[in-house]
Amino acid sequence: MAGGRSAANRQLCSCVQAAANQTLSTREQSRAAEFFGDPDKAQDTRTADGPSAEAFWARYRNFVTTAEAMCRS
């Protein structure tokens, strides 16, 4: 809600949070939240080499897919 997006509302934010709780650890949620303030960080993460970066990105993509499926209205 604090991000200032016009489509933001309490129901949507709660749904996205529920998807995050199902798919990401608390630490991963914090990492992913940084992408909203710095989209370049998402790109850097997506293109980073190494198994931990690749594993995080796979979990993040799963979160996105889950949120889209759960919260589309």
Pick from 6-10, 38-42, 63-67: least confident? 6-10
- Residue 45 DSSP SS3: helix
Q: How far apart are CA 7 and CA 59, in angstroms?
A: 25
49 DSSP 8-state letter = -
52 exposed, middle or buried (CB, 10 Å; 0-12, 13-18, 19+)?
exposed
In this predicted model, what pLDDT tens digit does every residue of 34-51 receive, in sequence order?
Answer: 998 899 999 999 999 899
State residue 9's pLDDT score.
82
Per-residue pLDDT band for 68 (boundaries 50, 70, 90) equals very high
pLDDT digits (tens, 9 = 90+) for 51-63: 999 999 999 999 9
pTM of the predicted model as reported, rounded to 2 decimal places: 0.82
